[in-house]
Structure 1
Amino acid sequence: MTVALSILDLADVGEDETVADALHASVALAEAAEELGYRRVWYAEHHNMTSIASAATSVLIAHVAAHTATIRLGAGGIMLPNHAPLTIAEQFGTLATLHPGRIDLGLGRAPGSDQATFRALRRDHAAADRFPEDVLELQGYLSGPSRVPGVEATPGRGTDVPLYILGSSLFGAQLAAALGLPYAFASHFAPQALQQAVATYRHGFRPSAQLDAPHVIAAVNVIAADDHAEAERELLATKRRRARLLFGRDRTLTTADLDAVLASPAGQQVEQMVRYTAAGTIEQVETYLAWFTEHADADELILASAGTSRGARLRSLELVAQAYGLTRRTDPAAQRVPGAGQPSG
C-alpha cells in the first residue's frame, strides 16, 4: 500500500479525565506518531464541546511542536469564518517560523459550534459567504503579495505555510480545485458526498504555485485490535459515545438508554457518521483501508483513531504502522510532501 498515512487527533477528553489529561495525551500521541513514521497529525477547531480539547488549535499545535522534532503538524482545520485572516496568518506564520517545514493549515467554513457559541464568537452570518475571498487574503499574507494594500503579516510573510481546503460537500471540492489546493474530505463523520466531491475536485483542478496535481486526503475511522472481539467492543463503545454526544448533552443516558437510541431510527445518524470505519484485526483493517483508498480515490488517508481508551487508540495506530511498514523520518526536509508549499512533480 503506497498511500500516505496521517492522523487526526480529536484531543478527546474522556469521561473521567480532565482537559489537562487530554492535552498531555495529544503530546504523547504525536510523539508516538513521529516514532512510528506517520506523515502528519492534525487537530480540529471545535468550541463549547466538553469532550474535545483542541478549541485553541494553534496553541495546541505550538505545544505539540515543541515536544516533537520532525512530524508535520497542523489544523484540520481552522474554521476561517471565526477569525480575521490576518490573525490566522500571524498565528501560523509564527508556528512556521519556529518550526520551519513542519506546519500545515487546513481551512473550513463551518462554525464548529452551536448557535449560542456562534454568537459568543461574535461571528457574522455573512462570514461563511466570504470564505473564498478570506482564503485568498490569508494566502496573500503567507505567500505574497498581500491583497490588502499596506498590510503585511509579521510573522507570516514569506513563510509559505501550505493551505488545505477541508470539506464534506461539493463547495469545498470546487473551491480547492479552482485555487489549486489540496482537498481533505471529512468522511470520518460526514461521508455522504465523498465520491462525488473527490470526482468534482479532480475534474476541475487547476495547477497552482503550491500544487501542480490534485492531492486528496480522505478521513477514515480506524479501530485495529489484537483480536476481532476486542475491536467490536471498541466499535460499540464508540457508537455509544457518539450517541451520547448527539442526544445526551442535557441529560444523563445509561448504557441501556444509549443502546436503545442506537437501535431506534435516530440511531441511524450515528451509523451514517461511522459508515467509513475500519474495525477488526490488523489483517481486516488493512484490507478495509486498501478498499477505502480506491473507493475514495485518495492520495493520503488521515486516520481518526476511534477507540474509546488511550491505550486502545495508540495500539490501533501501532498495528497500522507495523502493517504498512512505516519508518521514522529523522530529517525534517524529508517531511516535505505534495501539497506542502511546493509543486509535487
Structure 2
Amino acid sequence: MNLLQNIPLSVLDLAMVPQDKTPKDAFGHSVSLAQHTEKLGFNRYWLAEHHNMEGVASTATVVLIAHIASQTQTLRVGSGGIMLPNHAPLIVAEQFGTLATLFPGRIDMGLGRAPGTDQLTANALRRDMAAVMDFEGNVKELQQFLSAENKTSAVRAIPGEGLDIPIWILGSSTDSAYIAASLGLPYAFASHFAPAQLFDAIAIYRKNFRPSAQLQVPYVMPCVNVIAADSDAEAAKLATSFKKLFLGILTGKRQKLGPPVNPDENFMDPLEEAALQQMIRFSFVGGPEKVAMELQRFLDVTGADELMVTSPVYDHAARLRSYELLKGLQQKK
C-alpha cells in the first residue's frame, strides 16, 4: 500500500526570520505559505512557541494563529505547540476559546511541556517549575475549563467552556507518550529535531492508549524535515541553510537561517556533520523521486496516521516549491 498517497499532510511553521529579513517579513511569508498549502490541500497549519531566538518570530503564538486563520478559509490552524508550563491553564482555555469562537471548527490545541527557550528566559516568563512536573495535571485542568460540565464551577473560561477544541499532546521523548496514551489524546512527535526516541514513543503510546471522549483509537503524527526541489542537487544545496541552522543549535551558536552554499565546498566540519546527522535523521532532501521513496519507507516503519512537515528553506519561493512538490507526490501513480 502506498501510504504516502493517502496520508494527510500538514505544516509546522516557526515563522523563521532569515538573514537580512525582519519579523514582519517572516509573518508575510507565513501567510503566503499558509494560503499556498491551503490551496494545495494540506490538512492543518501549526505554529510553534519559542522565545529569545533572533531567528524565530512565533513568540506570541496565539496572536499569530489568529492572524493566519484570518487569512485562510478552510485550513485547520493551531499550536505546535503551546508550552503549557509557561501559561496558566485558564488563560490558555480563554485564548483558545476565543480562537475557536472566531474560527469555529478550525482550531487545534497542541500542548507541550518544554519551555521553548533557555532557562534564563524561562525564568523571565515566570515559569513555575512545578508546572513542568505536573504537566498531565495541567492538561486535565485545561480540559476541565473547556468542558460543558464546568459551568457550575466558581472559575469558568468564557469563551471556551463547552467548545469542541481538539487537544494534542506534543513530545520528543517517551514521557509524553505515556501522558498522551493515558489521556486518550492524539500524539504529535518532534522527530524533525529529536528523532532518538520516536519508535519507542510510538510503541508505548499505542500499547498504553486508553480511549477517550475525544479519540477512540491511537492517532500518531510525527513531524519531519522535507526539502524537495526539482533535482537532488538543487535540494542538497537548499539544505545547507538548515544544516547550518541546526548546527548552531548543537554548538550553542544560534543564528538566523542563512542563504545556501555549495555543499561540495566542505561547508561543515566532518565531525560536526556526523553529530548533526543524529539530530536531523528524519530529514528528507532531494528531488521528487528520492523524497517519495524515503518518505514511503518512513511511513512504512512508523505507521503514521498523519505527517507534519517543516521545510527550513532560505528562499521563500523555493520553500513554496518544496511543499508543492511534496503534495504532488500524492497525485503520482
**TM-score, scaled relative to structure 1:** 0.89
Aligned-pair CA distance for 1:325:
3.1
- Counterparts of residues 73-84 of structure 1 (less than 5 Å): 73-84=77-88
Identity %: 51
- Counterparts of residues 164-203 of structure 1 (less than 5 Å): 164-203=168-207
2:316 aligned with 1:310: yes
- Given candidates 85, 95, 98, the residue that maps to 1:94 is 98
- Counterparts of residues 258-273 of structure 1 (less than 5 Å): 262-263=268-269, 265-273=271-279
Q: CA RMSD in A?
A: 2.3
- Counterparts of residues 1-345 of structure 1 (less than 5 Å): 1-146=5-150, 149-247=153-251, 249=253, 262-263=268-269, 265-325=271-331
Aligned-pair CA distance for 1:265:
3.8
Aligned-pair CA distance for 1:188:
0.3
Could you list the per-position Cα deviations for residues 7-46 of structure 1 after superposition, in whole angstroms to 9, with x for gaps in the alignment? 1112110011000000111011100111000000101000
Aligned-pair CA distance for 1:143:
2.6
Could you list the per-position Cα deviations for residues 62-91 of structure 1 after superposition, in whole angstroms to 9, with x for gaps in the alignment? 001111110000000000000000000000
* Greater than 6 Å deviation, 4+ residue runs: 250-253
2:131 and 2:69 map into 1 onto residues whose CA distance is: 30
2:76 and 2:29 map into 1 onto residues whose CA distance is: 17
Unaligned runs of 5+ in 1: 327-345
Contact 2:15–2:58 under 8 Å retained in 1? yes
**TM-score, scaled relative to structure 2:** 0.92
Aligned-pair CA distance for 1:306:
2.7
More divergent stretch after superposition (299-308 vs 263-272): 263-272
Partner residue, 1:341? none
Could you list the per-position Cα deviations for residues 281-306 of structure 1 after superposition, in whole angstroms to 9, with x for gaps in the alignment? 11111111111112222100001113
Unaligned runs of 5+ in 2: none
Aligned-pair CA distance for 1:168:
1.0
Could you list the per-position Cα deviations for residues 287-332 of structure 1 after superposition, in whole angstroms to 9, with x for gaps in the alignment? 1111111222210000111322211111000011122139xxxxxx
1:293 partner amino acid: L
Aligned residues: 324
Contact 1:243–1:261 under 8 Å retained in 2? no
Query: Helix, strand or coil for the counterpart of 2:149?
Result: coil
Aligned-pair CA distance for 1:123:
1.0
